[in-house]
Structure 1
Amino acid sequence: MSVSTTAMKRFGAGICAWFSAASIAMAFSACEVTDTGGIDDNSFNQTAWKGVLDAQEKHNISGRFLESQAETDYEANINSLLGGECDLIITVGFLLGDATKSAAETNPEQKFSIVDYSYDPAIANVLGQIYATDEAAFLAGYLAAGVSKTGVLGVFGGINIPTVTVFMDGFSRGAAYYNAQKGTNVMVLGWDPETKEGLFTNNFDSLDDGRAFAQNLYDEGADIVLPVAGPVGLGSAALADELGTDKLKIIGVDADLYFTDTEKQHVYLTSITKQMDATVLQVIESAMDGTFKGGNLLGSLANGGVDLAPFHDMDALVSDSLKQELADIRQGIIDGAIPVRP
């Protein structure tokens, strides 16, 4: 049986279109520059990189990363990716803000996206990925206040920067909201959202500091600790593992640490998550389809950009009534009926 010339032309055109689309996808390259925590930090660098990996799987693009060992590496790493090999350069973390701005203004044709940072005024070739993490942290503070047996919670940060303290603000205010609703006096050690004074390790990599700060908070009565310090928090988790979760529980940040810190997953009450993988994928897709533009992409409770992770092994410790209260508060935050900021 013969095939018509018209059918052959249609088939050939379809094949050409398929190869053309595949070539465009393979030609697209997304490059990431990490903060000093490294690509496998069980936190924001790793979660952002997952967005690139998801784009590789979904769109067959190429991806690569450069790890920053120190803050002095930021500018050099970004500059080494310039020159046309990367269609999109993704920088991860507040501390890369200045280096990203400098490179973007010097190279206006290069597309950039920075995780956890925004510019005012906006830069035309930079899309900032920012997150209303205080919304999810508010829920975590309320949860911790409801679960704590000692009535004392602890929190500490890595470096005193807005993307760290926003967690601490929300957590403290969530616990305060619990007190207002219940007539209790649960204390939060390590941060005062009004004076902006608190505990900081001044790094994002020392597990020893994570252990020491959690130990100090535990010694002062805290039975739930929130470390907002990337890999530093793994030291806190190790302490909780040794003490036992009946004495100390940990709340993770950025990713659901139940899945990323598998050896110590049983110490996590929950995690305050930023869905950086989803926003990174969204930015890559916008750069691929031509809709990319400078400005900000905000992740919130309303759009799923931030959230409170499941309670996993500790689910039985959270009463049904507390779970319902958290659901109601979540909706109240989304609706604007419950403010998380003054």
Structure 2
Amino acid sequence: MKTTKKAVLGGLAMLGTAALLAGCGSAPTESGASGGGEAASDYLPCMVSDFGGFDDRSFNQLGKEGLDAAAKELGVETIEVESKAETDYASNLQNLVDQGCKTIVTVGFALAPAALESAQANPDLEYVSIDDPVDQDFDGTTDADNIKPLIFDTSQAAFLAGYLSAGVSKTGVVGTFGGQDFPTVTVFMDGFAQGVDYYNEQNGASVKVVGWNRDTKSGSFTGGFEANDVARQTAQGLIDQNVDVLLPVGGPIYQSAAAAIRDSGREIALIGVDADVYQTDPDVADLLLTSVRKGIDVATREAITEAGEGNFDNTPFVGTLENEGVGIAPFHDWADRVPAELSSKLDEIKASIISGDITVESYLAG
């Protein structure tokens, strides 16, 4: 298990979750929009994934689903390209520019520098950045007027998941670990820990969080975003500390956590991130207590639909509980194990976060 110190927030405050892995970019593929009627124009929206690809059952997949939904509504074609390494980003973006894309969606922080360069070189095109505001000089504004950021304050939803986890835990120990020490990873982990702390405060309890330390802003990280043996060992290290709820943050690393949970032979609840993993990955559905969701699909659909109708707006979208840009998924198979009183309390806490009566700390909090 690798433990790292969180980097200075000023330098990383607006970075997103992605990894830079060796490989080569896939050739762009064009997909027709099913239904949607006759195209009203020659509008062509496009997307570049990060290393995870569009079948990652997480934020790349959600982004593509949003793109596809917008294309269907508009009645237009799309082009998507998967990246396998950092060196693919610039060439993939230029490929899409050369093919006449009008709006280009980039997924994840790692694409931000290449997206900025492409946007500045092509001021007549529109760009949508998922999970990064493309603020390279960290002055609080996007660095190009033709880029619309879609970012998500998942600390609010993770707070609910932390309170829930503390409420269902029987061992009094819950855990979390991440792929890499980036703010869009640690925002889940810290929000989760804040929720546990609030549970303890409200209920006179002493549920312990392992894998993240709020005081030192340090925690357990795998060093990447792959479902591999390192991720499994990291999960096992937390399981060995008697956790019975586990939140892995970083795309497919939850799959390694699920394998470690099954090997343990214990009842350990898994919490998904980004998508409702119960729906996107039925193989782990029986383990899932809930998922901390980002509305990437909805935000992407709305951004592309507006752009396709000639109403591109570069105002950043920040997903919160109030605008339903973030939230927690239903309890699904765990529903009968979550007391009704606890479920009702979560509704109250959500309302208090929205009203401002409960403050959730976050690098995105204004």
- TM-score normalized by the length of structure 1: 0.90
Q: Deviations over 1:52-103 (max 9, x none)?
A: 1111322212112111112222222112111352111000012212111111
SS at match of 2:176: strand
Residues 124 and 293 in structure 1, CA contact (< 8 A), matched pair in contact too: no
Aligned to 1:270: 290
Aligned length in residues: 320
Aligned to 1:24: 40
Tell me whether 1:236 sits opposite 2:252 in the alignment: no
> Structure 2: how far apart are the matches of 1:207 and 1:312?
27
2:155 to 134, 137, 141: 134
SS at match of 1:220: coil
1:151 to 160, 169, 172: 172
Q: How does 1:184-195 map to 2 (within 5 A)?
A: 184-195=205-216
Give the Å deviation of 1:267: 0.6
Give the Å deviation of 1:235: 1.1
Name the structure with the higher helix share: 1
Tell me whether 1:87 sits opposite 2:108 in the alignment: no
Aligned to 1:218: 239
The one-letter amino acid of 1:157's match is: G
> Structure 2: how far apart are the matches of 1:103 and 1:192?
39
Q: How does 1:25-104 map to 2 (within 5 A)?
A: 25=41, 27-83=42-98, 85-104=100-119
Give the Å deviation of 1:113: 0.4
Tell me whether 1:173 sits opposite 2:201 in the alignment: no
> Structure 2: how far apart are the matches of 1:79 and 1:201?
32
Aligned to 1:6: none
Return the index of the structure with the highest Cα Rg.
Answer: 1
Deviates more, 1:223-232 or 1:66-75: 66-75
> Structure 2: how far apart are the matches of 1:222 and 1:168?
15
Give the Å deviation of 1:162: 1.1
- TM-score normalized by the length of structure 2: 0.84
Aligned to 1:13: none
> Structure 1: how far apart are the matches of 2:316 and 2:329?
25
Q: How does 1:249-260 map to 2 (within 5 A)?
A: 249-260=269-280
Q: Percent identity?
A: 42
The one-letter amino acid of 1:117's match is: D
Aligned to 2:332: 312
> Structure 1: how far apart are the matches of 2:332 and 2:59?
21
Tell me whether 1:105 sits opposite 2:97 in the alignment: no
Aligned to 1:199: 220
What is the alpha-carbon root mean square deviation over aligned residues? 1.5
The one-letter amino acid of 1:274's match is: K
SS at match of 2:196: helix
Tell me whether 1:302 sits opposite 2:341 in the alignment: no
